[in-house]
Structure formats: structure tokens, C-alpha cells
Structure 1
Amino acid sequence: MKKNLLLAAVSLVALSATAPALAADLAARPYTKAPPAMVAAIYDWSGFYIGINGGGGSSHATWDVVGFGRDGSHDATGGTVGGQIGYRWQSGQWVFGVEGQGNWADFSGSNTGAITGLTNRTKIDSFGLITGQVGYAWNNVLVYVKGGAAVVGNKFDIRTPGGAFVASSDDTRWGGTVGVGLEYGFAPNWSVGVEYNHIFLDGHDQNFTSGGVLFVTDHIKQDVDMGLVRLNYKFGGPIIAKY
């Protein structure tokens, strides 16, 4: 019994002597800094912008000789180039805006009149759009619809089958427009997009004159469809940070 107690006492003394050494051998854990919070860059569509556009279009024109009936119809097609300026403001993912656009155009076409036998020619040489926009953004991708007023510059003329001038009439017409577009912010402050627009124009009576003398009156009705590629530069900060 005494021998067992003696062995236990010796073991306890040995353990007490080695404990500090074991503790000293344990290496201290290195301090690790918490990883930084992630920052998500979100494109902000708010601000003034200016840009250029180009594309093509087609105007369907119907000519009726007043008092006699349908003289025929044709499509006036061609290219266009112009510019736009506007302002957008963003609330959440919704984007609202106003825009003014002006374009030079060369939409032209003709048909042989069923009544007159002469060549009826239509040319659109300019148009402008004043519209409001409502869109929805997925970060730097924006889809929008637009609508408002349109003004179109027309030149009409009548020629012989051989091309000799007979009579002409110029007209500036106001109407309405609707459209839809897709825009992509590809770099800070820069975006590129595609857009479709339709212009509604009421029918008008056009007095065709030659040398100041009335030749004929035609009732001409038009509408316009066009597709555009657009490049915009937006002023102000392009992104906001979200933590």
C-alpha cells in the first residue's frame, strides 16, 4: 500500500514538471483578418445622355386622286442617320426617360398611277421624334418602350413614265410614334442598343402644282417603320456600389 502511494506521488511530481514545457511547445495561432465584404457594381442609368444612330426604314404611301379614287400605293425605302439627346432617371430596376431625336433620311419609292398613268413618287428626307420612355433594367441591360409625337418631312412629285417633271408638293406632317428598344452598357458611360419605331401619319390632301398652277389634288396616307442601331454617351457616374 505504501509502495503504491509512493509511485503515485512520484508520477504526479513528474507530470507537474513537464506540463509547463508542453504548454511552451504549443505554437500560438496566427491572427487571420476577416475577408473584406464583397462589393457589387450596379450600372446606374440615371443622367443626361447624347448619341448617334443609323439604320433603315420603309414608308407605305397610298395615293388617291380626290374625286376619282385610288391611284395606287408604294413603299418608300432607304437609309437614315441622326442623333438623340435625353435624360433618364432610375428607381430600383425601373427606368424612366424623355428623349428628342432628329434624323436625315432617304426613304423613296414610286408607282404608276392606275388612274393618271403617271409616276407618283414619295420621298421622306427627314424626321424627328419627341418621346417618353419606360424601361426595366437588369444591371447594365435595359429594355424599354417609348411613345410620343413625330414630325416627318415629305417631298411628293408626279412625273411622266419617261421621267419628265409634271407637278410637285412638299409637306411637313405631324403624327404619333411608338417603339421598343434594347440597350447594353458595355463600358463606363457608354451604351449601345437597337430600336424599332413605328410612325403613324394621318392622310392629307396634297395640291400638286406646276409653275404655280394646280395640276391635281391627291389624298396621301402614310405610315413609317424603321430599325435603328444607337450609340449613347451618358454624363455622370456610370455605377453605384452595393455592399
Structure 2
Amino acid sequence: MMKKIAFATASLTIGASAAYAGGYAAPVVEPVVAPVVVEAPVGDWQGAYGGVTLGYAFKGDDRVGITDTATDSFLGDIGEAELKGANAGLRLGYRWQRGNWVFGPELGIEGGDIKGDTTGITDSGFAGEMDSKVNHMVALRFKTGYAVRPDMLVYGIAGVGSIDVDYELNGLEDSFSKSGYVVGLGVEKQINDKWSVTGEYEYANFGKEKLEFDGVTTEATPKYNNIKVGVNFRF
């Protein structure tokens, strides 16, 4: 009798274990690993700097028209002078930085061999020979840029400038100063934490200046494009 009871008890235990083994089992949930966000490095551009530039001005078209002062009648054009030539400059500026955006003012002076000349005869028979030379330009620029890489900045240029010009018509000389605007684009590459190199394109336009020479007048229209390379040192 006792053997039967023991056998029955063992059978119930095995059956219960088998039933439990084939029953509900809670799913295993893998832990969620949060992605690691790595922020792109931002270069350091803020601070004061100074630099030098070398450039070449070109395509500074200046059409020379002649007007009779006494009758105020237009005599015609003697030709078109193209201001062009090598130039060099000094600059001093300061930049602020907000994230990848970099902006600030820059004061510069440039001078060199930017000049143009033309010779011709108007339809009314006036013969003229004209020469002009830009002695120097002083400009206040504002540059706004974006650091496309920690060590590379791309920027736009907008500012005002004033030039000093020597002008000559048929041997008669005059000089004048004229203000205008300067716009352009540039790129700057850091060599290390102090030194960087730049490349820039600028367009400068100084409007019109009326000049009088021995009974005739002409309007000087100085303007030119300028390609420049430079080196900056950050203080």
C-alpha cells in the first residue's frame, strides 16, 4: 500500500513539473543602450589679429567723357581706362564667435600700383590723354563667416572705403579723395593657434567725381576688382 502511495505521489510531482515547464514564461527584454552623441569640434577664432595682404586689381573700367564747361555740352568719350595693378596692405581686426559663426570689424589700408590710362578723340574733335593712379585706400570692413571646419572659415565682406587718386588730363593734374563701398568673399585656413592664411575677392566702387581741366570737365568713376592673399597673426 505504501509503495502505491509513493508511486502516485512521484507521478503527480513529475506531472506538475512537466506542466509548469510547458506553461507561461516571461520574455527576456534586452537592455536599451542609449546612443553616444559626439559633438563636432569647433575651432577657436575669437580675438584680435593683424595681418598683411598682397593683391592684384583688375577690370576697373572708367569711361572718360568730356563736357565743354562754357556751353555745358557733351563732346563725347575719349576712351575707357582700366584701373589695374599690384597692391599691398596692412589690416587690424577683432572677431567674436558664437558656435560656428564668427564676425567682427577690420580696419585696413592698401596701396601700390593701381592705375589706368586712355587716349582718344571725341566725335566733336577733342583730343584727350588721361592717366589716373590710386595712391591708397583706407577701408573699414565687417566680416561675417562660418567655420565649415575647426580650422577653416568662409566669410563675406561688406564695408566702406575712401581712396586718394591722382588724375591727369592732357598734362593737367588734379587729385581727389572719394568714398564708396567694398564687398567681397573670403576663406581663411588656420596653420596653428596663432597663424593663418587667407584668400579674398573684393569689388570696390567709389561712384563719380567731377573734375575740371582748362575749360572742359570729366567725371572720374574709380572702381575695380581685387584678388588678395594674406597672412594673419592672432594676438
Query: Equivalent residue for 2:180?
Result: 175
CA-CA distance at 1:105 after TM superposition: 2.0
CA-CA distance at 1:204 after TM superposition: 1.5
CA distance in 2: counterparts of 1:172 and 1:124, whole angstroms = 10
Query: Equivalent residue for 1:146?
Result: 157
CA distance in 1: counterparts of 2:53 and 2:101, whole angstroms = 24
Query: Equivalent residue for 1:64?
Result: 65
Unaligned runs of 5+ in 1: 1-37, 160-165, 209-213, 236-243
CA-CA distance at 1:216 after TM superposition: 2.5
CA distance in 1: counterparts of 2:205 and 2:196, whole angstroms = 28
Say what the alpha-carbon RMSD is for the aligned residues.
1.8
Residue 97 of structure 2: which of 90, 96, 104 is its match? 90
CA-CA distance at 1:200 after TM superposition: 1.4
What's the secondary structure of 2:191's corresponding residue? strand
Query: Equivalent residue for 2:146?
Result: 136
Q: Are 2:167 and 1:156 equivalent residues in the alignment?
A: yes
What's the secondary structure of 2:127's corresponding residue? coil
CA-CA distance at 1:89 after TM superposition: 0.8
TM-score under structure 2 normalisation? Answer: 0.75
What's the secondary structure of 1:113's corresponding residue? strand
C-alpha contact 1:62 1:222 (8 A) present in aligned 2:
no
Which amino acid in structure 2 is aligned with residue 221 of structure 1?
T
C-alpha contact 2:83 2:223 (8 A) present in aligned 1:
no
What's the secondary structure of 2:157's corresponding residue? strand
Which amino acid in structure 1 is aligned with residue 89 of structure 2?
G
Moved over 4 A (4+): none
Q: Are 2:132 and 1:127 equivalent residues in the alignment?
A: no
Query: Equivalent residue for 1:35?
Result: none
Identity of aligned residues (%): 27
CA distance in 1: counterparts of 2:222 and 2:90, whole angstroms = 23
Which amino acid in structure 1 is aligned with residue 65 of structure 2?
D
Q: Are 2:229 and 1:219 equivalent residues in the alignment?
A: no
CA distance in 1: counterparts of 2:121 and 2:164, whole angstroms = 26
Alignment of 1:45-84 (within 5 A): 45-58=45-58, 59-66=60-67, 67-68=73-74, 69-84=76-91
C-alpha contact 1:113 1:120 (8 A) present in aligned 2:
no
Query: Equivalent residue for 1:192?
Result: 197
Residue 210 of structure 2: which of 193, 200, 205 is its match? 205
Residue 99 of structure 1: which of 90, 103, 106 is its match? 106
Query: Equivalent residue for 2:9?
Result: none
CA distance in 2: counterparts of 1:188 and 1:132, whole angstroms = 22
CA-CA distance at 1:42 after TM superposition: 4.4
